[in-house]
Chain A
Amino acid sequence: METIKRNDYNFAFLDEGSKREIRRAILHAIAIPGYQVPFGSRELPIGRGWGTGGIQLTMSLIGPNDTLKVIDQGNDDSVNAVSIKRLICSTTGVETTTDTAEANIIQSRHRIPEEPLREDQVLVLQVPTPEPLRSVDAHEAVTRQLHADAEYTGIWVNLFEQLLTRGSAFKGADHPVMADDRYVMNPSPIPRYDNPKLDHAQCLYLFGAGREKKIYAVPPYTKVESLAFDDHPFEQENMEGRKCRLCGAEHVYFDEIFDPETGERYYQCSDTGYCLKRQNEQKAEKEGLR
C-alpha cells in the first residue's frame, strides 16, 4: 500500500485557500449559534458521507502542537476512526491519543465522550444531515426562509405525528435541539443520552457536513434544549440496571452485545477510551495494593 508522505502535501492536506474558506465559515457559525453556514466543501481522499465535513474542520483547526483524538460511535479503533486519524497524522505529524482529557481537538462520529470536556477543547462532530427541516421541505431556499422566520411548526407536527403513531416523540438519534432559543438544529446522530451534554458545555462544539456543505456551531455556555412537549418531557435512553462487563461502569451509554450461542446479552461502555482508562486505573489500584 502506498503511504502518504508528509512533504507531498500542504500541512493538514488542504491548501491554504480552502482552510481560509472553512475558517471564515467557522467564525460566522460561532457568532450565530445553530445557524448552518454554507461553505465550499472540498474533495478529500475519503468519500463524502464518511466524515469529510469533520475532517475539513479538523484540518483547518489543527496545528503542529495539537493533540488529536478521533472516535467513531465512541470507538477509538474502528475502521473509520483509524482511517481519519491516519490521514490527519500523515499530513500533519500531530500526536494522537485515546484519552479524552489529553486531546485538545476531538473529532467524533455519533457520540460525545463520557468525560466532561474543558474550555480548551474543541469537539468536531461529523454530520450526515444538518438540516432539521429537510423532512418538512426538500428545497434549500424554503428551509432557509423557514429558519429566517423561526418557523418550526413543521418539526413540531412531525414530532407530534411520531408521538401519535409510535408512542414516543423522540428520535433514537439526532433528536433536534433548539440552540440559544433561536435555531432548531440537528445535533448529528448522537444518542439522546448525549443531547444534554450540549447544554451550557464548557467546550466549543463544531459540526461539519461535507456532503451537504454546511458548518454550524454551539459555543461554550450556550443554552441548548432538546425539543419536547410540556406533557411529554424530554427523556434520555434508560441505562438503569446495566453495567459494563469490562470496567463495571454504570450510568454511561452502552453498546449491547448479543451472544447467539448462549443467548446472553452483554453491555460494555460505548466510549472505549473512557472504558480503557477506567480499566487501567483499576489495574493500577490493584497493583498498588499488592
Chain B
Amino acid sequence: MSTPVLRVEDLHRSYGRGPTRFEALKGVDVEVRAGESLAIVGKSGSGKSTLMHLLALLDRPTSGSVELNGVPADRLRGRELNRVRNETFGFVFQQFFLTPSATVLENVILPLKIAGVGRAERKRRGMAVLEQLDLADKAKNRAIDLSGGQKQRVVIARALVNDPQVIFADEPTGNLDTTTGAAVEDLLFGLNRERGITLVVVTHDEELASRCDRRITVRDGRIEASATAATTASGTGTTAEPGRPAEEVAA
C-alpha cells in the first residue's frame, strides 16, 4: 500500500498549563489515504477541529508525530511550512471568509497571490477554475453580492485554484440550506472522485459523513470509532440534524 498522504501517531494536544491545562487530544492515530474521502465527526468540543488543524499543519502537536507524504511535518519551518500548506492544501470553511468588497476572481486567486504567481497566470488559472464551477459570469461581481450557495462555490473554487492534494472542509454545508448544501456536497465529492483530490470533512452532519468513504468519530480527545462507509450506512446512533445552523466551531 502506498504512503498515506497524512499520518498522525499518538497525537496529543493540550492548551494552557497547570490547573487550567486542558487536553484536547489524548493520543490519536489517523491515516489519510490518497484519494479517499474521510469524515471526522464528533460533538462540539470533542477535539475534531483540533485534529483537523493538526492535520492541516495549522497547529503543532504537544507530542506525537504528523507526517505529510511520509515526511515528518516538524521538520518544516516557517517559509517552507507556509509553502507546503499553500501548495498542498485547500480550505473550505463553514464561514465563507470571502473579502466582501473584492471581486469573485480576486477572492479566488488569493492563494495564488500568496504563492507569488504572476498576474496573468493568476487570472488564467482563476478563470479556469471559475469556469469549471459555472461561476465564470460572476468573476467580476463583488463577493458580497452572491447568494450563500454561490459564495460557498467561490470558496471551493478558491480551495481548488492551486490544485491541492488535500481539501479540508470544516462544516462546509453548515451555513447553507439543504438543497444548496447538497449541491455543494455533490461538487466536493465530484472533485474527490474525478480528480482524485483527497477530502477531509469535519462535520457533525450525519448525512454528509455517510457520503464519505470512511469516517472517524472523535470523542473526548480520543478516536471512538473508525468505520468505512459500508458499515455505517445502515446503523446510526447519533442524532443528525440536517440543515442546522452553525452553533459551534470551537473545539
Our verdict on whether A and B bind, yes or no, reads no
- Point out residues on B near A: beta carbons under 8 Å: none
